[in-house]
Amino acid sequence: MIGWDAVAELDRRDPLSRYRDRFALPKGLIYLDGNSLGALPRSVATRVLDTVHEQWGEELIGSWNSYGWIDMPLAVGDKIAPLVGAGPGQVICADSVSVNLFKLLAVAAAMQSERRLVLTVSDNFPGDSYIAQGLTRLLGENRLRLVKTTEADIARAINTQVAVVLLSHVNFRTGRLLPMADITAAAHRAGALVIWDVAHSAGVVPMELDDWNVDFAVGCGYKFLNGGPGAPAFLYAAARHHANVQQPLGGWMGHREPFAFEPDYAPGKGIRRFLTGTPPILSMAALDAALDSFAGVDLEKLRIKSMALGKLMVELVQRTELADELSLVSPAPPQLRGSQLSWSHPQAYGIVQAMIERGVVADFREPDILRVGFSPLYNSFCDIWEAVECLRSVIAGGEHLDARWRHRQRVT
Ligand SMILES: *Cc1c(COP(=O)(O)O)cnc(C)c1O
Whole-model pTM? Answer: 0.97
Asked if residue 96 has its Cβ within 6 Å of ligand 1, the reply is: yes
Asked if residue 98 has its Cβ within 6 Å of ligand 1, the reply is: yes
Please write the tens of the pLDDT for every residue from 208-255. 999 999 999 999 999 999 999 999 999 999 999 999 899 999 999 999
Q: How far is CA 293 from CA 18, 24, 47, 184, 376, in A?
A: 11, 12, 13, 30, 12
Asked if residue 172 has its Cβ within 6 Å of ligand 1, the reply is: yes
Ligand 1 atom closest to the CA of 170, numbered from 1: 13
Asked if residue 222 has its Cβ within 6 Å of ligand 1, the reply is: no
Please write the tens of the pLDDT for every residue from 386-395. 999 999 999 9
- Give the angle subtended at the CA of 378 by the CAs of 373 and 381, to the nearest 5°: 75
* Model confidence band, residue 412 (pLDDT cutoffs 50, 70, 90): confident
> Is the Cα torsion angle 42, 45, 51, 54 positive or negative in sign?
negative
Burial of 86 (0-12, 13-18, 19+ CB in 10 A): buried
- Give the angle subtended at the CA of 260 by the CAs of 259 and 264, to the nearest 5°: 115
Asked whether the beta carbons of 177 and 201 are under 8 A apart, the reply is: yes
* Model confidence band, residue 31 (pLDDT cutoffs 50, 70, 90): very high
Ligand 1 atom closest to the CA of 233, numbered from 1: 8
Asked whether the beta carbons of 176 and 123 are under 8 A apart, the reply is: no
Residue 196 has pLDDT above 80, yes or no: yes
**Which mutation among 220, 223, 224, 249 tests ligand 1's pocket best, with the greatest number of atoms within 8 A of CB?**
220
Q: For ligand 1, atom 5, name the residue with the nearest CA.
A: 97
Q: Compute, in degrees rounded to 10, the torsion defined by CA atoms 23, 24, 29, 34.
A: -50
Share above pLDDT 90 across residues of the chain, in percent, rounded to a whole number = 97
- Determine phi and psi for 80, rounding to 5 degrees: -75, -30
Share above pLDDT 70 across residues of the chain, in percent, rounded to a whole number = 100
* Model confidence band, residue 257 (pLDDT cutoffs 50, 70, 90): very high
Q: For ligand 1, atom 14, name the residue with the nearest CA.
A: 199
Q: Compute, in degrees rounded to 10, the torsion defined by CA atoms 386, 392, 394, 396.
A: -150
**C-alpha to C-alpha distance for 77 and 93, rounded to whole angstroms:** 5
Strands (E) across 94-135 are located at 117-121
298 tagged catalytic: no
Please write the tens of the pLDDT for every residue from 270-319. 999 999 999 999 999 999 999 999 999 999 999 999 999 999 999 999 99
Q: Calculate how far, in angstroms, residue 170's C-alpha sits from the geometric centre of ligand 1.
A: 12
Please write the tens of the pLDDT for every residue from 67-85. 999 999 999 999 999 999 9
Residue 343 has pLDDT above 70, yes or no: yes
Asked if residue 168 has its Cβ within 6 Å of ligand 1, the reply is: yes
Q: Calculate how far, in angstroms, residue 218's C-alpha sits from the geometric centre of ligand 1.
A: 9
Q: Calculate how far, in angstroms, residue 200's C-alpha sits from the geometric centre of ligand 1.
A: 8
**C-alpha to C-alpha distance for 247 and 254, rounded to whole angstroms:** 9
Please write the tens of the pLDDT for every residue from 111-166. 999 999 999 999 999 999 999 999 999 999 999 999 999 999 999 999 999 999 99
Q: Calculate how far, in angstroms, residue 109's C-alpha sits from the geometric centre of ligand 1.
A: 21
Q: For ligand 1, atom 6, name the residue with the nearest CA.
A: 97
Residue 20's pLDDT is 97
Please write the tens of the pLDDT for every residue from 78-104. 999 999 999 999 999 999 999 999 999
* Model confidence band, residue 1 (pLDDT cutoffs 50, 70, 90): low
What mean pLDDT is reported for the chain? 97
Residue 59's pLDDT is 98
